[in-house]
Amino acid sequence: MDHRNAHHPSNLQRAFTLIELLVVIAIIALLTGILLPSLGQAREAALTLKCKVNMRSIDFAMNLYREDHRGWGGESKNYGARFDLNGLRFDTEDQFAYWGVFYDEYINDAFEVWEDPKFQLMDPYPYWGTDIDFIYETQRYQSYGINGLRTSTNDNSDPVARYGLWRNAAKEIEGRGGVIVRSNASYLRPLSQLRRPNDMIVFQDAFEHQMETGNDALDGLTQYDSNYGGLEDYWEDAYFRHNDDSHTMFADGHIEEFNRKEVTDDGNEDLRYYYSGDPQDQLRLEGRDPNP
């Protein structure tokens, strides 16, 4: 008997049933639901790491600058621009320059180091009313704010003058006709002059380019709460941009994270110590009476 043309069940093509397809789809959906949060967490971890690498690079550049300037850091800059409206770069003498311009050459003008990967927008001063695209394209390279708490005197009775990050010193500039003009300017104090470098915030995730504290740093967050050009809707997110954490670089080179819940919406006045270095503020932070 010739069996060559006989049909066997094993030769038949079997189609998926509707139930089998639904099971496969359900398995794929389940795996997607399991994997997506992990992928999101991995992405956030990568962005957090990039921010911290940026901060360490900036800290390294600041220390190189100090080595070339007898331990002193750059002069204070209370504005947040790198470029003028024609796209030309500001230098260290421009009043509107970002504080980071002093350190650019020590990282080979690698602007990307100054761009936090979670950056959205910084305070647009001095370019209020300017096209938002221009602000974004220029401000993306100045996304970290510096501790700007300082005093107008060098009076040692003033705790900020005595313990703070900044110290006033004479500045000489050449005026008209070659005349040398002397004036006072604030400079980052040498690390050797800081009481406790491990407790002093130098720069951090922020919305302000230079924070004088009280209403624009972690010890107080109220400056943009209302009637400030619409910025009140999201400015705190610039401080707590990494999973509700604010990354802060301390003078000794370590990074800490302050969570939004720890700080609260209006700030945490006990955290002033990390900006002032004042022993009295330290006692308040530690829950001890500064005036026993």
Q: What is the pLDDT of residues 57-85, one digit of tens each?
A: 999 999 999 999 999 999 998 888 888 88
Q: How many CB atoms lie within 10 A of CB 157?
A: 7
Q: Are the CB atoms for 177 and 166 separated by under 8 Å? A: no
pTM of the model: 0.84
Phi and psi of 144, rounded to 5°? -120, 140
Q: Residue 238 falls within a domain, yes or no? A: yes
Rounded to whole angstroms, what are the CA distances from 126 to 97, 205, 219, 237, 271? 10, 20, 25, 21, 28
Please tell me which residue, 259 or 2, carries the higher pLDDT value.
259
Q: Does residue 8 carry a pLDDT above 60?
A: no
Instruction: Tell me which range, 135-139, 177-181, 272-276, 288-292, is most confidently predicted by mean pLDDT.
Output: 272-276
- Percent of the chain's residues with pLDDT above 90: 52
Q: Residue 235 falls within a domain, yes or no? A: yes
Which residue shows structure tokens 């407790």? 199
Q: Residue 276 falls within a domain, yes or no? A: yes
Instruction: Give the number of domains in the chain.
Output: 1
| Residue 172, beta-bridge partner list | 182
Residue 3: per-residue pLDDT: 52
Residue 87: per-residue pLDDT: 82
Q: Residue 97 falls within a domain, yes or no? A: yes
**Quick one: average pLDDT of 264-289?**
93
Q: Residue 12 falls within a domain, yes or no? A: no
**Quick one: average pLDDT of 105-126?**
89
Three-state SS letters, 38-98: HHHHHHHHHHHHHHHHHHHHHHHHHHHHHHHCCCCCCECCCCCECECCCCCECCCCCCCEC
| Domain span holding position 73 | 18-285
Q: Residue 124 falls within a domain, yes or no? A: yes
Dmax (CA) for the chain in angstroms is 120
Residue 93: per-residue pLDDT: 87
Segment 211-257, tens digit of pLDDT: 999 999 999 999 988 777 677 777 889 999 999 999 999 999 999 99
**Quick one: average pLDDT of 4-9?**
53
> What token pair was written down for 265?
């919406």
Q: Residue 291 falls within a domain, yes or no? A: no
Segment 145-159, tens digit of pLDDT: 999 999 988 888 999
Q: Residue 5 falls within a domain, yes or no? A: no
Residue 154: per-residue pLDDT: 86
What is the amino acid identity at position 64? Answer: L
Which residue shows structure tokens 């130098």? 202
